[in-house]
Structure 1
């Protein structure tokens, strides 16, 4: 099986397991095809997701093709159970990563459920994104050690393993009631091999961790299940040592099948901050919200003219982009990129995202951070001098800068939230000047960002292009949802960007089948459209569209960045924090709307 690319792979065939410092993607076939150690943004030791099995994977599966395969998480945890049913019996494959206590582990348990099942394992470890074949040696007769430069991995299992063509293989049989454990541990190669964890004890402790975390959730509405699953995904994408939340666990999963728009999302975007704080605060996760806010303040500390749109997990700024030429890409989508050059772009909206995030933190009862006032004043002084400039915009266009309407609106948000902050806390500030700048930006957007002929706001000043980011105007409070200009904008987006109940990011024309060419529908934008339906009192339509979006989740409740209605498959990096944050916020908005409707009856 080694060296043979998987046929007809789909992004939604994967599930996430993680320890709040990194994560692995497990395929429906029992193969772990992606794992970066020790952090989300470290190099991968299993990279078959972006290449073929020779680039690293770990398969555990029945030797006979299963008659049926199903999967589920245990409760709201990230403990994955894959059930293989064969002609001779049924087994469960339980995959999880225990929260770390200094040691990074990945545990796999094969449990016999019914009858007898013959299984096999194929272990191909390749450090540095599949490029380094490690030196493998036996360890105490109960496993093996793989070393490549500074990295070391230890695999412990009672199953006899043997090397075959630079691949470690093993065969075993499991009867009903039996359990066969596998434990993979990671550490620096210059240290002694870390002690192995007790698999069953680790399972119980991991269950207890997730149970305690889930019990803190205050979501009891009719959307409780998808909300809790999405919140678990956000927790799983959190880098616990710093509180940073990565946009996704992967890099270079394509926005378009076979395309070149393949980006590294294993970093923390400032744009996600306000949405995430709102979601965490609503769900009662104040500790996680505070940690994310504090990460944000540390990351942006410094000169305002050096503000970036994204940072590393610890606030690192150098995210140099390079291409991995030895990986063939997901289903041939190349290049595979590591790092993200968009970190150096000018995106004016991030100033508004930061201000709104801090305002959301205050709304949810977090005590103000003393240095925020000084940071905010420095940022607003700088933004006052540059808000008229063109930028690359929310979609990080790698082309000429434009005066994007959304960017200007978010510059307005920065001053608006600062004014509200002063009004509520009474801190000393040049609030009158900020009000004047806020009003000037508002007038500018209404004059140049609105097209009277279209009856809609447009993507950029002087443009005729529609853009789904305009759906955020009423959400951030730029204009009320009943304003004719907002009503016209939503109507125009509904007419030109809404296809099959899903919203595309911007105008790209349509092909003969009525669908836009290129990338799929952007899921976060689709949730924003539902939010606008709610704001306009179109509750029945909102509920119908929300349920349509929920149906796009895979069998374990995960969403990527986009959905291709033509191929009926998820696209983009996975699982995507922005999609799940948007799901949570929309669920709360819809639940509140329906409760208010019930009160009026």
Structure 2
């Protein structure tokens, strides 16, 4: 079977898993998204698919097809397997999530049900978890109705009403009744497993449908927006509020490129765009929890500086190593654990802390309103933004071997000062509003003086250069310029001429630490679509948006990058940036509800 990114995510905001198009779980980490992948098969590369470790495979004897879809408005996956004789089963895969005993029940657990539909299907269950990033030597013990897998210092227990002996020996058996599987904490399963797992399924389905019902979706492309929103929520670690950039590590940005990064961490930048998109849909629960995460990050801010990413628990040291037991996606290693970008200086982070926090001062729907004490803490962040606005950094593209004073970082510093002035005005702090307004004006003047390239008649990607990169398209979104401003039009024209590749957009076209870019960055393509809409090329924007939607996986999702010639997806999956682009573009391009009511 060909390994690709046609994957279906399930999860509960504590753990998640990716299911391939045959219904096999090939990726999933415990006890949280940045933990040890007990399902590491996505990054294994055996010669024979049957030898792949780190998987949970449910397969029929003489299987001829597998069809999949999500249960409507949920991340509950329905897989239908059919054998050569017409035998058929339905598999439902999910991670339990619902309110129980006054709190959200989201265990470190994966649940699956198997229901016979037609004929006499014979099932083979293969469960081969790994430990320590790909080590298949996992000891196991079993009882009458369970199997224990000793994953390092902890254990997972599979509780089931399927025949345990057949599972242990990989022996086929007939499916003549409903079967239930619960892989979770190493503790006895309480109650009748069939009844309890069915109840979990019903309650989990109800939870997600009610959550979706509260979304303010655009009229057009509702299915695409809902699927993107559900998946973005799955990328939040609810315990702390952190939002990870993706659920995977080390899917290369291009074949054999070495651009293999671990994205299972909370980038302040990525999370900012995620909550911005979900907030446009009214998903305040994600925003509120993330603001709590930010308050803790700001409280721990050391020496007046913030690093660009943290673990989901707020850990600061994310030392980058390589997992030797895993060959990598399609054998394209290395598999990296941790991310050295945590050591980088990226000055845009200060604005990305401040901007989502401003809503806390004016949105009466929030359970917790921001206070003057919160404003004072944000001012400390703003002071760093002010101090660093004209200083070099690694930039939002995280160059590892060079720095520059990036225009995007400077504009985000301007936005930090500008929005602090707004917050001060809301609180009636006129002196502080005047202070931050003055700071914002001075930062703006610096940008106008240093980022504007007179000879080219446009802005440069960094001070004193005529380079371009796609981040300059954000000058409108950050309200630094309007779409009608001829300076933006000139900058857009240069970006389009240099970076557009047909229906795709590169981040930049200059060599970086790994050579010239080989794939387009999906989020930048969505930025281009938004820009086309606001400058009056709406028909073209709609056409490109539809083309991007056609590039999604069967699960309705996108990874980070795309081959701009073949359309093949590359990079970590599912990528929050790309899903944000779907939501933002749909909201901007859709006909209003009033047109159809």
1:336 and 2:335 correspond: yes
Deviations 1:325-382 (A, max 9, x none): 2211101222111111111211111111112112244465442244321112212223
**Unaligned segments of structure 1, at least 5 residues:** 1-6, 510-515
Q: What SS class does the counterpart of residue 240 from structure 2 fall into?
A: coil
- 2:48 aligns with none
Q: What SS class does the counterpart of residue 120 from structure 2 fall into?
A: strand
Further displaced range: 409-418 or 300-309: 300-309
- 2:387 aligns with 385
Q: What displacement does 1:81 show? A: 1.0
- Under a length normalisation based on structure 2, what TM-score does the superposition of the two structures give? 0.90
Cα distance in 2 for residues equivalent to 1:595 and 1:109? 41
Query: Per the alignment, do residues 354 and 124 of structure 1 end up closer, same or farther by CA in structure 2, a change over 3 Å counting?
Result: same
- Tell me if structure 2 keeps the 8 A contact 1:415–1:435: yes
- 2:8 aligns with 15
- Tell me if structure 1 keeps the 8 A contact 2:95–2:111: yes
1:364-443 matches, within 5 Å, as 364-365=363-364, 366=366, 367-427=369-429, 429-443=431-445
Q: What displacement does 1:405 show? A: 1.2
Query: Per the alignment, do residues 270 and 201 of structure 1 end up closer, same or farther by CA in structure 2, a change over 3 Å counting?
Result: same
1:41 and 2:45 correspond: no
Query: Per the alignment, do residues 440 and 71 of structure 1 end up closer, same or farther by CA in structure 2, a change over 3 Å counting?
Result: same
Q: What displacement does 1:155 show? A: 1.5
- Tell me if structure 2 keeps the 8 A contact 1:408–1:445: yes
Residue in structure 2 matching 1:484, options 463, 483, 486:
486
- 1:234 aligns with 232
Query: Per the alignment, do residues 259 and 161 of structure 1 end up closer, same or farther by CA in structure 2, a change over 3 Å counting?
Result: farther
Query: Per the alignment, do residues 168 and 150 of structure 1 end up closer, same or farther by CA in structure 2, a change over 3 Å counting?
Result: farther
Residue in structure 2 matching 1:71, options 60, 68, 72:
68
- Tell me if structure 1 keeps the 8 A contact 2:241–2:293: yes
1:183-202 matches, within 5 Å, as 183-187=182-186, 192-195=187-190, 197=193, 198-202=196-200
Cα distance in 2 for residues equivalent to 1:323 and 1:413? 38
Deviations 1:294-342 (A, max 9, x none): 2112122234623121112122222221111221110122211111111
Cα distance in 2 for residues equivalent to 1:283 and 1:86? 42
- 1:4 aligns with none
- 1:513 aligns with none
Cα distance in 1 for residues equivalent to 2:202 and 2:404? 54
- Tell me if structure 1 keeps the 8 A contact 2:509–2:516: no
Q: What displacement does 1:163 show? A: 8.8
- 2:170 aligns with 169
1:153 and 2:122 correspond: no
Q: What displacement does 1:498 show? A: 1.5
Cα distance in 2 for residues equivalent to 1:425 and 1:371? 11
Q: What displacement does 1:518 show? A: 3.8
- Tell me if structure 2 keeps the 8 A contact 1:362–1:368: yes
1:281 and 2:279 correspond: yes
- Tell me if structure 2 keeps the 8 A contact 1:465–1:507: no
1:29 and 2:22 correspond: yes
Cα distance in 2 for residues equivalent to 1:9 and 1:39? 24
- 2:521 aligns with 522
- 1:322 aligns with 321
Query: Per the alignment, do residues 65 and 508 of structure 1 end up closer, same or farther by CA in structure 2, a change over 3 Å counting?
Result: farther
Q: What SS class does the counterpart of residue 293 from structure 2 fall into?
A: helix
Deviations 1:9-38 (A, max 9, x none): 111x21101011110111112221111111
- Under a length normalisation based on structure 1, what TM-score does the superposition of the two structures give? 0.90
- 2:134 aligns with 130
- 1:347 aligns with 346
Q: What SS class does the counterpart of residue 171 from structure 2 fall into?
A: strand
**Unaligned segments of structure 2, at least 5 residues:** 46-50, 98-103
Further displaced range: 271-280 or 239-248: 271-280
- 2:269 aligns with 271
Q: What displacement does 1:474 show? A: 1.2
Deviations 1:444-470 (A, max 9, x none): 222322333433322222333320011
Q: What displacement does 1:220 show? A: 4.9
Q: What SS class does the counterpart of residue 331 from structure 1 fall into?
A: helix
Query: Per the alignment, do residues 55 and 419 of structure 1 end up closer, same or farther by CA in structure 2, a change over 3 Å counting?
Result: same
Query: Per the alignment, do residues 238 and 451 of structure 1 end up closer, same or farther by CA in structure 2, a change over 3 Å counting?
Result: same
Q: Give the CA RMSD over aligned residues.
A: 2.4
Q: What displacement does 1:84 show? A: 2.3
Q: What displacement does 1:236 show? A: 1.2
Deviations 1:497-551 (A, max 9, x none): 1112111110148xxxxxx954421111111112212221322222112111111
1:313 and 2:317 correspond: no
- Tell me if structure 1 keeps the 8 A contact 2:95–2:109: yes
Query: Per the alignment, do residues 273 and 108 of structure 1 end up closer, same or farther by CA in structure 2, a change over 3 Å counting?
Result: closer
How many residues are matched? 574
Residue in structure 2 matching 1:119, options 116, 123, 127:
123
1:473 and 2:475 correspond: yes
Cα distance in 2 for residues equivalent to 1:500 and 1:112? 47
Cα distance in 1 for residues equivalent to 2:373 and 2:82? 58
Query: Per the alignment, do residues 138 and 303 of structure 1 end up closer, same or farther by CA in structure 2, a change over 3 Å counting?
Result: closer
Cα distance in 2 for residues equivalent to 1:572 and 1:102? 28
Deviations 1:129-148 (A, max 9, x none): 12262221121x22311124
1:430-579 matches, within 5 Å, as 430-508=432-510, 518-579=517-578
Q: What displacement does 1:391 show? A: 0.1
Deviations 1:59-85 (A, max 9, x none): 11122241x332110011010012223
Cα distance in 2 for residues equivalent to 1:117 and 1:500? 47
